[in-house]
Structure 1
Amino acid sequence: EDELAHWMAGILARNWEKEARRADLEEAPPEKIVFARLTGLGFTEMQVHSAVRDTALDLKMARWTSEDLFRLARTLQHRGKPMLLAANKADMASREALQNLSKVAGYLVVPTSAEYELALRRAASAELITYQPGGSSFEILHPEKLTAAQEKGLEKIRGFLRERGSTGVQQCIEEAVFKLLDLIVVYPVEDEHHWTDKSGNILPDAFLVPRGSTAVDVAFKVHTDLGNHFIRAINARTKMVVGRDHPVQDGDVLKIVAKV
């Protein structure tokens, strides 16, 4: 984590004194200067604004020290690049150790066993079991095809799932996407009455977008031309016509109408 913060602080520090003096003379907002320097790292203006506000800094940017820039980078990291701790090899750790790790301040900790997840996926691929990633259980399809070692291994994994609820791998992904990044899922369709593609696949496309995104944001996500020539969208669930600035909700099914 410190490496990432030091890297961002290094970007901010390049020719900082000269640019900061000029910005102070022009009375430019600090968040504007910081945002411009970090363009390309995926931070939003709101994230930069809140980070500058919440980091105790001198009103004059020219007085900011290297330590100040590092503290600002750390705040920015927590705002725009939050981290999750995947406590891997949880199958080998004691319950007490996992409980202590979960108390680490500022982090979401998810006990995981990547080895167990890989074993289950391989067994499912070999059609020995049925298993849904993130599931709390699995079903053995052909016990006669299992070796004694495989059967013992699966029973050990079953015990872990019974205790933990899952291997934790899928949970890590979902926690990062839906909680830390606060993304939602939107489904674009060609026909608001039939939610399938030409092959009959139901809701074949799903896009992750930031919460608060609008209909035109979804259009751009699907294709730049759809965004540039956006006319309106249709909520396929309610059949209501919505405009470009309509905020989409998690699970919305949208038909995008654009100029040909």
Structure 2
Amino acid sequence: MHLFSHNPLNDVKFLEKELDMWYFQILKNGWEKFARTIKAENKDVKKALAKQISGLKVSEKDVDEVLTKLKFSHDPATWSDDDLLQLASILRKRTKPMIIAANKIDIEGSDFFLHKLKDEYKEYKIIACSADSELALREAAKGKLIEYIPGDNYFKIIGNLNEKQKNALDYIKKNVLDKHGSTGVQEVLNYAVFDLLEYITIFPGGVNKLSDSKGNILPDCFLMEPGSKAIDFAFKLHTDIGNNFVKAMNVKTKQAVGKDYLLKNRDVVEIMVKK
């Protein structure tokens, strides 16, 4: 494929439009009946609308703040399709945050489009990526040819490489790792999970023992949604553990905490259950 035969900026525009239209169609479906009901029953339009589109994980607070900003009429029956599309677009941006993985950064001349993306879409986090390079490095590590940790900016050769493998790894080192600091793949995943979604990491462990039978320290880790409590973690481990929850122990502080204890990132938690 010729470098300039495809413009990735168009991909972003297409995706934004598709997502906006998805929200719009959900809003538009049954809108006239919805608007009549609001007026006839004198309902709070913000609460009713939030309930109507709750499946999109749009909260009442989201709707309240967006409608306050837009200053639409209090009568939703007067809202035009353009109004609904504007509402859909703003709600989409608010509730479906995006990150742009600028893939194929290993191709010669791709920096041109990377800079164009960053100039055009300043509101998004844009990370240079090479998925092919990441796959090649992981396969090489799996085959005991190199030592490589996803996200690192280097690898160590530990096996016997043929000429083709050497050239491929040299290319990745020169055009991806040395130039961009990593393949970008792990950075995209980390940013999406920890920055956009704000998930936290929780480790199951004991007050008196942090290792497993093989001596591995805190070998397990769970991703939890922001606002998760001790009881949520108990159910994450197993339904029976959640149902028989008595208390939890914050292993770092060695303090007992109740089911409503708000978990913090990198907490080590032990769950006590009924016997």
Which bracket does the TM-score occupy, shorter chain normalised?
0.7 to 0.9
Q: One-letter code of the match for 2:157?
A: I
Distance change >3 Å, CA 101–CA 249, structure 1 → 2: same
Deviation larger for 201-210 or 245-254: 201-210
Counterparts of residues 14-33 of structure 1 (less than 5 Å): 14-33=29-48
Counterpart in 1 of 2:192? 176
In the alignment, which of 123, 131, 137 is matched to residue 114 of structure 1?
131
Aligned mates of 1:45, 1:199 — CA distance in 2: 49
> Unmatched 5+ residue regions in structure 1?
none
Superimposed CA distance per residue, residues 56-89 of structure 1 (whole angstroms, 9 cap, x where no aligned partner): 4222222222222222222222122111111111
In the alignment, which of 95, 115, 120 is matched to residue 99 of structure 1?
115
In the alignment, which of 192, 209, 223 is matched to residue 208 of structure 1?
223
Counterpart in 2 of 1:154? 169
Counterpart in 2 of 1:136? 153
1:234–1:255: 8 Å Cα contact kept in structure 2?
yes
Counterparts of residues 1-260 of structure 1 (less than 5 Å): 1-92=16-107, 93-103=109-119, 104-142=121-159, 145-159=160-174, 160-189=176-205, 191-197=206-212, 200-259=215-274
Question: How many Å apart are 1:29 and its aligned residue?
Answer: 2.7
Deviation larger for 165-174 or 26-35: 26-35
Aligned mates of 1:225, 1:43 — CA distance in 2: 32
Aligned mates of 1:68, 1:43 — CA distance in 2: 18
Percentage identity across aligned positions? 40
Distance change >3 Å, CA 203–CA 58, structure 1 → 2: farther
Q: One-letter code of the match for 2:238?
A: H
Deviation larger for 20-29 or 177-186: 20-29
Question: How many Å apart are 1:258 and its aligned residue?
Answer: 3.9
Q: One-letter code of the match for 2:115?
A: Q
Distance change >3 Å, CA 29–CA 245, structure 1 → 2: farther
Q: Structure 1 length as normaliser, TM-score?
A: 0.88
The size of the alignment, in residue pairs, is: 257
Aligned mates of 1:130, 1:72 — CA distance in 2: 50
**SS of the residue 1:85 aligns to:** strand
1:234–1:240: 8 Å Cα contact kept in structure 2?
yes
Distance change >3 Å, CA 83–CA 21, structure 1 → 2: same
1:55–1:75: 8 Å Cα contact kept in structure 2?
no
Aligned mates of 1:225, 1:35 — CA distance in 2: 34
Question: How many Å apart are 1:96 and its aligned residue?
Answer: 4.2
2:211–2:219: 8 Å Cα contact kept in structure 1?
yes
> Unmatched 5+ residue regions in structure 2?
1-15
